[in-house]
Amino acid sequence: MSNSKRNRWLTILVMAVGVLAFVGFSIVLPFSGAFQQGQRSTSSATPSPSPSGSPADLEAQAKGYELVLQREPENQTALRGLVETRIKQGKIEAVLDPIQKLADLNPDQPDYTILLAQTKQRLGDREAAAELYRGILAKAPGNMNALKGLSDLMIEQQRPEAAVGLLQDTIKTADEANKVQPGSIDVASVQLLLGEVYARQQRFDEALAVYDQASQANKEDFRPILGKALLLRTQGKNDEAKSLFASAAALAPAQFKDQINKIAEATPTPSPSPSNSPAASPAPEAPAPAASPEASPAPETQP
């Protein structure tokens, strides 16, 4: 696998930075918090950190985790460490088994299952990936990571209308779902994801309409304003976009203002794509996973 392809996949897996923070969801590797706890409680399961991160050092570190797993097949500290190391190496096939084990051991932590689905999707097993996403959504219909993963998969399969239908149905059922379990579906975040899907299909009017609906529902939410600004800029409407960027920055919490201003100053792109929608702006190339299952995207992370 080339470095560019590996980094692209890492970006997909570690979307806890950049504009994704604004949307309120991110597919994260659910390791670091538990990993640190495991290091304190099970030092034998953690080989010495690689000082240089060279291929030889990473392979030695992976072998160390594998030796631990030969003795303790369910040692989650070693499983997490092995996954992180194999991802750094770009050995995607070698990630599948330990992620499957972690998902099996943690059925109540959907991030592991989402990562498993992403891995299967990356390896070409789209049906298995879709089944995993749908399994999560059957229990938690508002899980944004699963909605993002499944809608992306549908688009990858050249089924954009299915992706639109998935998100529209989620919005339609949100009131009822939130009566049963308050806050289970964040309608605004689903609308932003729907706007992204429309933008990727160059259905600009529909994307703008969705952003406007979300903004009208909550005039204090800066995210749909930011989404609209990004979309207008990709259409060459820079003056309108500039005004909206300023409005989004004014409404945003303090920790996001600098990010929005940097986005506003970036060179406009010629046409909308997953990289310029507010629900899928790529993270910088990330050297390692750095988010726990409970953690929201770190506001202080630079875009």
pLDDT given at position 52: 52
- Is 232 within 8 Å of 240 (Cβ atoms)? yes
- Give the mean pLDDT of the chain: 78
pLDDT for 290 beyond 70: no
**What are 77-129's pLDDT values in tens digits?**
999 999 999 988 989 999 999 999 999 999 999 999 999 999 999 999 999 99
Name residues whose C-beta falls within 8 Å of residue 128's C-beta, 6 or more positions apart in sequence.
117, 120
Split at pLDDT 50, 70, 90, the class of 18 is: very low
Tokens standing for residue 270: 């010629």
Pseudo-torsion of CA 216, 271, 254, 8, nearest 10°?
Answer: 120
Rounded Cα gap, residues 51 and 43, in angstroms: 18
pLDDT given at position 136: 96
pLDDT for 158 beyond 70: yes
pLDDT given at position 269: 52
Tokens standing for residue 147: 């909605």
Rounded Cα gap, residues 81 and 66, in angstroms: 10
Tokens standing for residue 148: 């993002």
**What are 184-230's pLDDT values in tens digits?**
999 999 999 999 999 999 999 999 999 999 999 999 999 999 999 99
159-175: average pLDDT: 97
**What are 237-283's pLDDT values in tens digits?**
999 999 999 999 999 999 999 999 999 998 665 554 444 444 433 33
Cβ count near 44 (within 10 Å) = 11
